[in-house]
């Protein structure tokens, strides 16, 4: 019975920490770049695109396909950074609590 109560306490603590993490994700931003920094894109901690910056040198009519490709590449770069950051935060948050592989809490 003591194990069950301990597990319930850990679950309540995890729930509280998860709620705090959700608030932190609202403030978190990561930046992805492409084209050697000619295009940058910012994502929120929840993966929403917050900003895109395109260098003036790309703003030519014949550069449209390049810009489109760079936006996709910058988004992928930012997404990878965000996923790594979230994994690190989840490991710190769960503190050794065994979670099933592939469990996505966000």
The CATH number given to whatever domain includes residue 79 is: 3.30.1310.10
Domain-located, residue 52? yes
Over range 77-89, report the average pLDDT.
89
Please determine, for residue 105, whether its predicted confidence score (pLDDT) is greater than 70: no
Minimum mean pLDDT range among 24-28, 78-82, 96-100: 96-100
Angle at 42 between CA 40 and CA 48, to 5 degrees: 140
User: pLDDT band at 34, cuts 50/70/90?
Assistant: very high
Mean pLDDT for the stretch of residues 84-101: 74
Q: Is residue 81 assigned to a domain? A: yes
Is-contact 30 46, C-beta < 8 A? no
Task: Tell whether 67 is covered by a domain.
Answer: yes
User: Beta strand 49-54 with 29-34: parallel, antiparallel or unpaired?
Assistant: unpaired
């Amino acid at each position: 019975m003591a194990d069950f109560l301990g597990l319930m306490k850990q679950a309540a603590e995890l729930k509280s920490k998860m709620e705090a993490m959700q608030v932190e994700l609202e403030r978190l931003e990561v930046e992805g770049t492409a084209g050697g920094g000619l295009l940058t894109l910012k994502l929120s901690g929840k993966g929403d695109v917050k900003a895109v910056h395109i260098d003036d040198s790309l703003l030519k009519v014949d550069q449209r396909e390049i810009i489109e490709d760079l936006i996709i590449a910058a988004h992928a770069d930012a997404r990878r950074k965000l996923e790594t950051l979230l994994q690190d935060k989840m490991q710190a948050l769960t503190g050794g609590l065994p979670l099933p592989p592939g469990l996505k809490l966000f």
